[in-house]
Structure 1
Amino acid sequence: MRVEETRTYLWTGAVGEALAQWRQFVHQPNRRLYDPAYSGCTEWLCCGDPLRARELLEGAICALPRRAARELRMIVLALDDLY
């Protein structure tokens, strides 16, 4: 059973999307974040909020079985080191 099917805060493909978004963000040289105080369009407003993607990944890590959680955690922590 997939964790995305058992959690209300996840949808099919959510973990993959969040991981791709976090990976793309940490590899950006300027690493601009969406600023909610700014009413204009920023790069991340259109493409999603990378911090929310990272939070979603943390929720998935907590919900996954140990082995899968460890594998995802290793990937995410390597990306966190780049950030």
Structure 2
Amino acid sequence: MERQKKYLWPGSIASAMVRWRSFVHQPSRRLWEYESGGCTEWACCGDPWQAREFLEAVMLAMSRRRSRELRSLVEALDRRY
């Protein structure tokens, strides 16, 4: 899929997944500054909400059958958050 869609590049889905997973596992994840769009901790790593939105867009673009595995991984992280 990363090679078929113009808005994706090799490794983009894995990168977004790593970003969302690392954010969800942070003990201070609930202290994220929603209004300002970030904090100093994530300034160099990117916005975890953009990563989550990116994953959602990818899952919607995939067929239901093909997105099932990715969706189960993302939803497990969502429940943890």
* Superposition TM-score tier, normalisation by shorter sequence: 0.7 to 0.9
**TM-score (normalised: structure 1):** 0.82
Q: Which stretches in structure 1 are left out of the alignment for 5+ residues?
A: none
**TM-score (normalised: structure 2):** 0.84
Q: Provide runs of 4+ in structure 1 moved above 4 Å.
A: none
- Whether the 8 Å contact between 1:34 and 1:43 is mirrored in structure 2 is no
Q: Which stretches in structure 2 are left out of the alignment for 5+ residues?
A: none
Q: How many residues in Structure 1 have an aligned counterpart in Structure 2?
A: 80
Pairwise CA RMSD: 2.1
User: In percent, how many aligned pairs have the same letter?
Assistant: 51
SS at match of 1:4: coil
Q: Deviations over 1:49-82 (max 9, x none)?
A: 1000001101111122332201000000000001
The aligned residue for residue 75 of structure 1 is 73
Greater share of helix: 1
SS at match of 1:44: coil
